[in-house]
Chains A and B, each alone.
Chain A
Amino acid sequence: MTEKKKVNLPQKGAWRKLAERLKEIGSRKPPKDLMDILNQTDVQKSEDKKIAVSINPQNELDM
């Protein structure tokens, strides 16, 4: 005897709920940490370099 398969019918509003959820995901603001990485500019990079040198003067003395 073959087992009768369960047949799905759409729940009321399920497709609209999915459409709204997908729209909401797609309109989210990007996370700050991601944008901090992606918005790095040359000015920021050179500032970072200057700071990096000044916090570790020991290496320079050893040279």
Chain B
Amino acid sequence: MIVLKSTNDLISYLANIDNVKGYVADTGFLYALSFDDDRLHISAHDVLETLSDLDIPLYANVISRMEFIDLIFRKLVTNGIIQVYDNMTSNTNHKNLWNLFKNVRDQNTASKSTSYKVDESRLKKIRFELEQANSSLSWKRFCETYMEDKLYNEWVFIEEQLGLNFIEIMEGNISNEFNEPLYWSDMVKVMGKHGLRGPDAMIANIFAKSKFPLLITTDSDFEKCFSDPLDDIANKAIYIL
């Protein structure tokens, strides 16, 4: 497997391949394209433009589809919390909330380059404390302002504009994008063999079995996953942002 490190590497690699059917992208790449506080935002856009200029379509699996919208949700909550915190007074009656919001603001400041997002446990606490402050009104008003249902209502249309294509294939079935059928058990084997989490193992399995010659990722674990020279993907390439 070939490891690409720059857009020049990418252009040279693609010049030698006929009829590129598409490329597989992981959630980290999609997220980096979406938020300019992500350290990979600019390089992700360079890669996207290179591939778009060549009319090569982007494919993601359904787990990445879910992870992507979930990351956007968590980031919007984070940004909203910081805005509310900046407008809160420290002698508020809602001290727990103020402390929670301060903690989120501090975490965000400390991890500037990694685009901090609230985790599930903080999210639950924040929702609880906001509801304590005024029944469901506070949480509702917060969501109306920072979740913007308009964005979510339009989401499927936005995915189309972004050029996202999703791989949806049933167990044991084959499609135009694959060389062989996809099996759940193969994905589980990848987890055990390389110590990858389920969503990553699913991407690795899809990439290995597909006709797509290229994987774009923000995660260097994929490189180790395909380093075995006996794996049948010698001509495929991985671009690590």
How many residues does chain A have at the interface if contact means C-beta atoms less than 8 Å apart?
33
A23 at the interface (CB under 8 A from B): yes
Q: Mark A28-52, 1 if CB is under 8 A from B, else 0.
A: 1111011101111110010000000
Within 8 Å by CB of B36, from A19, A34, A39, lies A19
Q: Mark B68-85, 1 if CB is under 8 A from A, else 0.
A: 000010011011101110
How many residues does chain B have at the interface if contact means C-beta atoms less than 8 Å apart?
49
Q: Mark B59-101, 1 if CB is under 8 A from A, else 0.
A: 0000000000000100110111011100111011110010000
The answer to whether B34 and A34 touch across the interface, beta carbons within 8 angstroms, is no
The answer to whether B164 and A31 touch across the interface, beta carbons within 8 angstroms, is no
The answer to whether A28 and B34 touch across the interface, beta carbons within 8 angstroms, is no
A10 to B158, CA, bound (A): 10
Closest 9 CB pairs of A and B: A26-B79, A10-B163, A34-B141, A14-B161, A37-B134, A8-B163, A30-B84, A9-B163, A15-B33
Residue ranges of B at the interface with A (Cβ–Cβ < 8 Å): 22, 33-36, 41, 45, 48, 52, 55, 57-58, 72, 75-76, 78-80, 82-84, 87-89, 91-94, 97, 133-134, 137-138, 141-142, 144-146, 148, 151, 158-165, 176
25 contacts between A and B (CB under 8 A): A5-B176, A7-B22, A7-B57, A7-B165, A8-B159, A11-B163, A12-B52, A15-B34, A15-B162, A22-B34, A25-B76, A25-B148, A26-B75, A30-B83, A30-B84, A34-B84, A34-B138, A35-B84, A35-B87, A38-B133, A38-B138, A39-B88, A40-B92, A40-B93, A40-B94
